[in-house]
């Protein structure tokens, strides 16, 4: 009886949960539709207004000014948002042509009715000439068909086939015309990246498609990534080619989302169990669908991944399609010494909680295309392959190679900080791509690819920093009101997947701000911290995912493995310096670049300086940095022992 009762109880609670889920999903659907309709409506209205202004003033610059002034006023009173910005001119013009088409078609119907009633043609119709000609063609067609009935099946069908959205979505697609889509490389929180071939030049590119419909983001923020990418020109930064907007009806690929269990983890973390770093990513609340905050505040929310103890970098990788590729970055071994199948820890495409796109496809307003250099490998995949082949300690040659690699990465980040005046905010191995180069040119390093057991080929690779989705300019930026999602289970799947970084690489000041719900100043030091972690990963091949998680957690506490410090004394100092808890204590990256520990490959070839440096510290030419580092090393080593003891004590308790 008891059993029966509890059984029916659990059955009814399961039904309740299902009903609740359905209700929530219906509410969610309605909300998405409402937002989409609002967006369409505002875009349509601004397109009309622009047209109207052009009629009022034939001088293009004056009419544009007129349009902007009116829109600014309307924005102040909340009628429009940022639909009038220059970046959306192409989209507005599609709305204008769609309207024009709609009017033409309606006129055709009227015209047919008039023709039936023998009403004479209007003497001077108030439509552009082409439309008038279209009317005459229509007249001809009606006469030829011998039918005077406007509701003949043919006519009826043609009217039924037309929808306003069809027109919006099918007009001239530059993407469809010029590119052949070859394969999806992966999905991010904002859209997906595809390998494509340009039909004109025959070359392959990476094409990022961003679907802004789902993010309640100010339009200007949607363009942040391209605006940053467009002004960068450096061998260690992914090359940008072009970007454009198109109206689309394309099905949005499923984007990453945390599962309910990860949402629970996040709630658990509200008490700030910061040590759970390896399973957490930071999401950008400002870009969150549910964010009411339309200001320029950069609010952040922390979200968890689905992989539990493993680091989320192992599930962030995209689709099964992507992992099928043999020559891309996602072709890592599915079975490896990390003890789990890679495929096991990527998101399950069959997961019923994953958003099904067909239901939301009509909601798309437009898609932003970003054409970039195609990179066939990335540092995350490379490290994964390498770690399954070799273990700590690295040979002297390997150490040198990885120091060179680090130096090249550093060059890219220094360029971002010092020349472009930006802060990347999402430096991590999966955002550092590796492009194969034929010769050893500026910024490239010779690297074993670890793809082939028998013969590890040494190829030249250029590390290139990519994914500028979270970049901000470095002039006095603050991340304001760092906040935590109180009820993540109610947050749209897409919202919570708008990662802005992986917790393993997130600077402690961001976590402190999370803990205290306070404002946090963002400086270049957040990138320095992340790079310090990357340097450690480059020099320490972890045996297992667990080992990686625990060593990185220790490093975040200022503790490096003793054997690592013994083997890499100078590098340890540099790592601990770069990952100092206090951001003001971290070095400027341009200073790190000057450090004698990091000679360029060509310098080393010419002077063989590094060999000497690694074997004898006393030959270092720049004594200031060197001595500072040794001092810091001593201090941190003592600190290391103290913290390790504390850690042990805590573990026992």
Ligand X SMILES: Nc1ncnc2c1ncn2[C@@H]1O[C@H](COP(=O)(O)OP(=O)(O)OP(=O)(O)O)[C@@H](O)[C@H]1O
Active site residues: 426
The conformation of residue 529, written as its DSSP 8-state character, comes to H
Q: How far is the CB of 468 from ligand X (least distance, A)?
A: 9
d(CA 153, CA 350): 43
Q: How far is the CB of 361 from ligand X (least distance, A)?
A: 19
d(CA 653, CA 651): 5
The H or E element containing residue 26 is: helix 2-56
Residue placing its CB nearer to ligand X in the complex, 247 or 381: 381
Residue placing its CB nearer to ligand X in the complex, 208 or 551: 208
Residue placing its CB nearer to ligand X in the complex, 150 or 186: 186
**End-to-end alpha carbon distance in the chain:** 44
Interhelix angle 2-56/60-76, rounded to 10 degrees, is 140
| Sign, Cα dihedral of 176, 466, 334, 437 | positive
Helices (H), 274-395: 313-316, 320-324, 342-345, 379-389
- Beta carbons within 10 angstroms of residue 88's beta carbon: 21
Longest Cα separation, the chain: 103
| Sign, Cα dihedral of 485, 487, 491, 496 | positive
Q: Are 531 and 589 in contact (CB under 8 A)?
A: yes
Q: Are 479 and 286 in contact (CB under 8 A)?
A: no
Q: How far is the CB of 589 from ligand X (least distance, A)?
A: 22
Residue placing its CB nearer to ligand X in the complex, 257 or 499: 499
d(CA 75, CA 59): 24
Residue 208 among known ligand-binding residues: yes
Q: How far is the CB of 82 from ligand X (least distance, A)?
A: 22
The conformation of residue 469, written as its DSSP 8-state character, comes to T
φ, ψ of residue 208 to 5 degrees: the values are -95, 130
Helices (H), 435-561: 493-496, 508-516, 525-539, 545-556
Residue placing its CB nearer to ligand X in the complex, 238 or 306: 238
Q: How far is the CB of 263 from ligand X (least distance, A)?
A: 18
Q: Which residue is closest to ligand X by CB? A: 188
Q: Are 215 and 289 in contact (CB under 8 A)?
A: yes
> Which is nearest to 284 in space by CA: 552, 526, 471, 85?
471
d(CA 80, CA 76): 8
d(CA 639, CA 314): 32
Q: How far is the CB of 431 from ligand X (least distance, A)?
A: 6
Residue placing its CB nearer to ligand X in the complex, 95 or 194: 194
Q: How far is the CB of 205 from ligand X (least distance, A)?
A: 8
Q: How far is the CB of 261 from ligand X (least distance, A)?
A: 20
Number of H helices, E strands in the chain: 25, 16
- The residues that bridge with 465 in the sheet, in sequence order, are 237, 432
b or e along 345-358 (b: 16 or more beta carbons within 10 Å of the residue's beta carbon)? bbbeeeeeebbebe
Residues interacting with ligand X, by CB under 6 A? 185-190, 193, 206, 208, 238, 316-318, 329, 372-375, 378, 430-431, 433, 466-467, 469, 499
d(CA 214, CA 567): 50
| Binding-site entries for ATP | 208
């Amino acid at each position: 009886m008891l059993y029966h009762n509890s059984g029916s109880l659990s059955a009814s609670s399961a039904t309740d949960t299902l009903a609740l889920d359905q209700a929530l999903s219906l509410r969610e659907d309605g909300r998405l539709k409402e937002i989409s309709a609002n967006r369409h409506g505002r875009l349509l209205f601004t397109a009309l207004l622009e047209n109207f202004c052009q009629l009022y003033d034939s001088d293009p610059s004056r009419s544009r000014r007129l349009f902007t002034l009116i829109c600014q006023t309307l924005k102040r009173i909340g009628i429009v948002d940022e639909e009038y910005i220059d970046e959306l001119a192409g989209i507005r013009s599609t709305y204008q042509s769609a309207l024009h088409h709609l009017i033409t078609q309606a006129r055709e119907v009227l015209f047919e009715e008039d023709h039936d009633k023998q009403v004479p043609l209007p003497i001077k119709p108030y439509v552009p000439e082409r439309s008038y000609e279209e009317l005459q063609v229509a007249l001809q067609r009606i006469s030829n068909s011998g039918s005077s009935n406007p509701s003949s099946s043919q006519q009826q069908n043609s009217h039924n086939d037309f929808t306003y959205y069809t027109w919006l979505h099918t007009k001239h697609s530059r993407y469809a015309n010029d590119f052949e889509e070859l394969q999806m490389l992966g999905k991010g929180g904002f859209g997906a990246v595809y390998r494509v071939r340009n039909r004109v030049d025959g070359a392959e590119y990476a094409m990022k498609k961003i679907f802004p419909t789902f993010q309640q983001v100010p339009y200007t923020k949607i363009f942040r990534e391209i605006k940053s990418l467009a002004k960068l020109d450096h061998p260690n930064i992914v090359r940008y080619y072009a970007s454009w907007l198109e109206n689309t009806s394309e099905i949005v690929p499923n984007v990453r989302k945390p599962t309910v269990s990860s949402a629970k983890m996040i709630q658990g973390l509200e008490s700030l169990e910061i040590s759970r770093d390896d399973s957490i990513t930071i999401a950008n609340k400002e870009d969150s669908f549910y964010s009411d905050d339309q200001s320029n505040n950069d609010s952040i929310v922390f979200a968890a991944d689905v992989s539990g103890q493993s680091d989320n970098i192992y599930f962030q990788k995209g689709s099964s399609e992507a992992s099928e590729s043999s020559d891309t970055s996602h072709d890592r071994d599915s079975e490896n010494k990390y003890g789990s199948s890679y495929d096991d820890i990527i998101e399950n495409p069959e997961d019923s909680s994953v958003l099904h796109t067909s239901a939301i496809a009509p909601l798309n307003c437009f898609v932003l295309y970003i054409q970039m250099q195609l990179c066939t490998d990335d540092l995350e995949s490379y490290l994964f392959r390498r770690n399954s082949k070799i273990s700590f300690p690295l040979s002297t040659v390997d150490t040198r190679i990885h120091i060179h690699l680090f130096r090249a990465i550093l060059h890219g980040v220094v360029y971002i900080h010092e020349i472009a005046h930006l802060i990347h905010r999402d430096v991590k191995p999966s955002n550092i791509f590796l492009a194969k180069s034929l010769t050893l040119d500026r910024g490239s390093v010779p690297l074993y690819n670890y793809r082939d057991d028998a013969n590890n080929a040494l190829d030249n690779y250029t590390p290139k920093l990519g994914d500028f989705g979270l970049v901000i300019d470095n002039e006095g930026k603050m991340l304001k009101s760092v906040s935590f999602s109180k009820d993540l289970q109610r947050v749209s799947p897409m919202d919570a997947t708008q990662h802005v970084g992986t917790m393993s690489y997130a600077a402690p000041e961001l976590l402190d701000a999370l803990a205290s719900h306070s404002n946090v100043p963002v400086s270049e030091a957040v990138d320095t911290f992340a790079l310090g972690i990357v340097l450690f990963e480059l020099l320490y091949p972890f045996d297992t995912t667990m080992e990686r998680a625990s060593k990185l957690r220790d490093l975040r506490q200022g503790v490096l493995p003793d054997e690592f410090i013994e083997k890499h004394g100078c590098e340890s100092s540099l790592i601990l310096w770069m990952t100092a808890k206090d951001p003001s204590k971290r070095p400027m990256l341009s200073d790190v670049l000057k450090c004698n520990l990091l000679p360029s490959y060509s310098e080393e070839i010419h002077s063989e300086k590094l060999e000497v440096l690694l074997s004898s510290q006393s030959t270092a030419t720049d004594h200031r940095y060197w001595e500072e580092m040794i001092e810091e090393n001593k201090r941190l080593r003592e600190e290391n022992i103290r913290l390790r003891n504390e850690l042990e004590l805590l573990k026992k308790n």
